[in-house]
Structure 1
Amino acid sequence: MVIYGVSLLSICTLVGVFVGDLLGKMLGVKANVGGVGIAMLMLVLLVDYLKKKNKLGVQSQQGLSFWGAMYIPIVVAMAAQQNVAAAVKGGPAALLAGATATIVCFALVPIVSKIGKPIKEHVLYDVEEA
């Protein structure tokens, strides 16, 4: 089950890295800009498309689910480590920007968690006295 879907994952990763490198060169940055994010978006969109067209078998879906669950935390940890190293080298402005973004994200968690939840209606009942 695990091996199914790996080719789709690897294709998306290779294309994402290539596009990220190309985007980095276009922006004048000597780094991959968003390649992993592009790969993950491609993978999500491609899997959704293939599921709608019934072109993706159950074993491939299970394999992609497994690798998606393994892939995302690893890549996020790697990217976070690189970002922290770059921020420390970048000086206080980069550290301040990172800290501010983190604080804002933490502050928005309660607001975002309420999205999609039904609003509780407060109903007052009139009680007739007998």
Structure 2
Amino acid sequence: MIIFGTALLAVCHLLGIFIGDLLGQALGVKTNVGGVGIAMLLLIFARLYMQKNDKLPKLTELGVEYWGAMYIPVVVAMAAQQDMVAALRGGPVALLSALAAVAVCAIVIAAINRTERQAESSASESMRHDNPLLTDTE
């Protein structure tokens, strides 16, 4: 059954590469645009859909989780193969897009951390009001 997780990854990867190629053609570039990222999103959505509809056996889920965890190092290895010098010579667009991506990630992470802290503080505050034995020093 674990092999079905690998098959699901392969289907998502092939669809992602195909969609990335179509996106590249639509943008007028001769390269794949985001195919690996699209494949990862397809894998996540397929896994969530199958879990929701109880069509994902435990062993298949283990295969999907394994390849989902392995996918990130594969993406990093693929990105390391790109020619960074040529990208920087091509103009400041590569540098600006990299800075924008880092900024967006930092903002999203900060927002997630703030919402988690607020949720934790409201949960602990509601516990204090529900339990008269707890004091403000706890």
What TM-score do you get using the length of structure 2 for normalisation? 0.71
| Cα distance change of structure 1 residues 103 and 87 upon mapping to structure 2, 3 Å threshold | farther
Q: Which amino acid aligns with 2:45?
A: L
Quick check: 59-68 or 1-10, which moved more? Answer: 1-10
Gaps of 5+ in 2: 129-138
Q: Which amino acid aligns with 1:115?
A: T
Q: Which amino acid aligns with 1:113?
A: N
Q: Which amino acid aligns with 1:9?
A: L
Residue 61 of structure 1 is matched in structure 2 by 61
Higher helix share: 2
Number of equivalences: 123
**Per-residue deviation at 1:98?**
2.4
Root mean square deviation, CA, Å: 2.8
Residue 13 of structure 2 is matched in structure 1 by 13
1:95 aligns with 2:78: no
Residue 120 of structure 1 is matched in structure 2 by 121
What TM-score do you get using the length of structure 1 for normalisation? 0.74
**8 Å CA contact 1:17, 1:39 repeated in 2:** yes
| % identical equivalent positions | 49
Q: Which amino acid aligns with 2:72?
A: I
**Per-residue deviation at 1:2?**
4.8
**8 Å CA contact 2:16, 2:36 repeated in 1:** yes
| Cα distance change of structure 1 residues 96 and 38 upon mapping to structure 2, 3 Å threshold | closer
Distance 1:100 1:4 in 2: 37
Q: Which amino acid aligns with 1:18?
A: F
**Cα deviation 1:57-94 (Å, max 9, x = unaligned):** 11000011011100123213423652735532323453
| Cα distance change of structure 1 residues 108 and 58 upon mapping to structure 2, 3 Å threshold | closer
Gaps of 5+ in 1: 124-130
1:29 aligns with 2:29: yes
Q: Which amino acid aligns with 1:15?
A: L
| Cα distance change of structure 1 residues 105 and 47 upon mapping to structure 2, 3 Å threshold | closer
**8 Å CA contact 1:2, 1:66 repeated in 2:** no
**8 Å CA contact 2:2, 2:61 repeated in 1:** no
